Structure 1
Amino acid sequence: MIGIMVSVTVVKFLLMVYCRRFKNEIVRAYAQDHFFDVITNSVGLVAAVLAIRYLWWIDPVGAMMISLYTISTWARTVMENVRSLIGRTAPPDFISKLTYCIWNHHEDIQHIDTVRAYTFGSYYFVEIDIVLPQYTLLQKAHNIGETLQEKLEQLPVVERAFVHIDFEYTHRPEHKSNRV
């Protein structure tokens, strides 16, 4: 049993070292998970061996230590990620960059009605409302909107962009009905 636990812990340690070499956040999350396994397996194994050899109460103390470590690790992870999970608005400088990019995208854009960006995990969802001339052909309007969407989605921090095209901007941009 000790050999199996040591082998698993060594493999987890090697996987942790390997995964830390990548910049991808998902792979780095695997590295963090492997590190967690290395710590909990090591403490559990040491506590079990010491309890068998010396004092019986060392094993429950080790279990309590693992529990406290687990709670603190997960609480810290939640606190680090809660801001990106709740859909916070992007900083004003990022909104300004988006606005500049939109305004310079095509000469037919007459007005930028709305620019929104909010967190979606580590990235942003972007919502844009632009105004084109009233009699712009559908094909041209579609191409302007689609190429703008593609341009915005090329930005490294944008997960998805939504471009709405209109011919006027005096209406409310929200289409949500009042709920009772």
Structure 2
Amino acid sequence: MLEGFDEMDAFVARGCGLVMSKDEHERLVTSENQAVRISNAANMFLFIAKVYASITSGSLAIISSTMDSLLDILSGFILWIAASSMQTPNPYQYPIGKRRMQPLGILVFASVMATLGLQIILESVRTLVSAKNAFRLTKEQERWVVSIMLTVTLLKLLLLVYCRSFKNGIVRAYAQDHFFDVITNGIGLTSALLANRTGHWMDPLGAIILALYTIGTWSKTVLENVNSLVGKSATAEYMRKLTYMCWNHHEAIRQIDTVRAYSFGTHYFVEVDIVLPSDMPLRVAHDIGESLQNKLEMLPEIERAFLHLDYDCTHKPEHSHSG
């Protein structure tokens, strides 16, 4: 807790130095767009390579991994639409911005991935029961399949490191997808090789493991983004840091009546009620409240801060229509 308070003190001491300039913001947006474009181009190239590997091997696990790559392309298109929409604000139609487009796009993306996992399980169980998936690869075919899958995995690993260097939620969703592909490519290749050298059942078994991992990973992502859409409260630790900043903002503040922070997409909306002396001039009270609002909105996690100035703490800050 004390470390969090020191962080707030350091933030106040640095002041406006933390505010990103317009040029820095534009460079960051350009870099994020470039990461999205590179990921989409790589997904297209790797999908073509895995189609060839699927045709060559006939492995159900590799085919499942290829279908995953196809959905990567479709889901990438969804995320690209969400990112483009966020970068074209319209203060008249969307006065509070389009921050929720980001978790909404990720939510659609994750739902599609989880649905794919269920389809893979059904097909793998059917194949496992029917025992009609036996296949054999020649040494030449096996060499081609191994080369393609290892190349795909290496490229995905490089993209994973690249996309994780960004804080943008959509780019990090691509990073999660690249990580997922590294895992699934490894499972698919291992299952195909084992099925080729041992029993055919290893191939659909690997596909089932791959699908269960898909469902588990993206179901967790769905739940996280649902919470960000419905306005979940920030952690108690973060609320303490905000309260500390508000209390130390100005010596005239007598009480901190209410501090709230709840998710709005990837950022927070903050509501603060402070108590000032009843005989304080409106001009002075306004300046105290506005400077605190600006200070809160400088925090990178906060989208918008709302300040309520009062002379007592007898009011009820709760909304009359809470759902």
Please tell me the TM-score bracket, short chain as reference. Answer: 0.5 to 0.7
* Map 1:87-106 → 2, pairs under 5 A: 87-88=232-233, 90-91=235-236, 94-106=238-250
How far residue 176 of structure 1 moved from its aligned partner, in angstroms, is 0.8
* Map 1:1-180 → 2, pairs under 5 A: 1-2=52-53, 5-20=149-164, 22=165, 24=167, 26=169, 27-48=171-192, 51=195, 55-75=199-219, 81=224, 85=228, 87-88=232-233, 90-91=235-236, 94-118=238-262, 124-132=268-276, 133=278, 136-137=281-282, 140-177=284-321
Amino acid at match of 2:245: C
Give the number of aligned pairs: 175
- SS of structure 2 residue aligned to 1:114: strand
Change (3 A) 1:178 1:66: closer
Change (3 A) 1:33 1:135: same
- After TM superposition, the score normalised by the length of structure 1 is 0.68
- The question of whether the paired residues in 2 share the 8 Å contact of 1:90 and 1:119 is answered with no
Q: Aligned partners of 1:128, 1:166: CA distance in 2, in Å?
A: 11
Unpaired segments of 5 or more residues in structure 2?
Answer: 1-51, 54-146
- The question of whether the paired residues in 2 share the 8 Å contact of 1:89 and 1:118 is answered with yes
Greater helix content? 2
- After TM superposition, the score normalised by the length of structure 2 is 0.42
- The question of whether the paired residues in 2 share the 8 Å contact of 1:90 and 1:118 is answered with no
Change (3 A) 1:143 1:64: same
- The question of whether the paired residues in 1 share the 8 Å contact of 2:153 and 2:181 is answered with yes
Share of identical aligned residues, percent?
55
Q: Aligned partners of 1:164, 1:112: CA distance in 2, in Å?
A: 10
- The question of whether the paired residues in 1 share the 8 Å contact of 2:239 and 2:261 is answered with yes
RMSD across aligned C-alpha pairs, in angstroms? 3.9
Unpaired segments of 5 or more residues in structure 1?
Answer: none
How far residue 128 of structure 1 moved from its aligned partner, in angstroms, is 0.5
Which 4+ residue blocks in structure 1 deviate beyond 6 angstroms? Answer: none
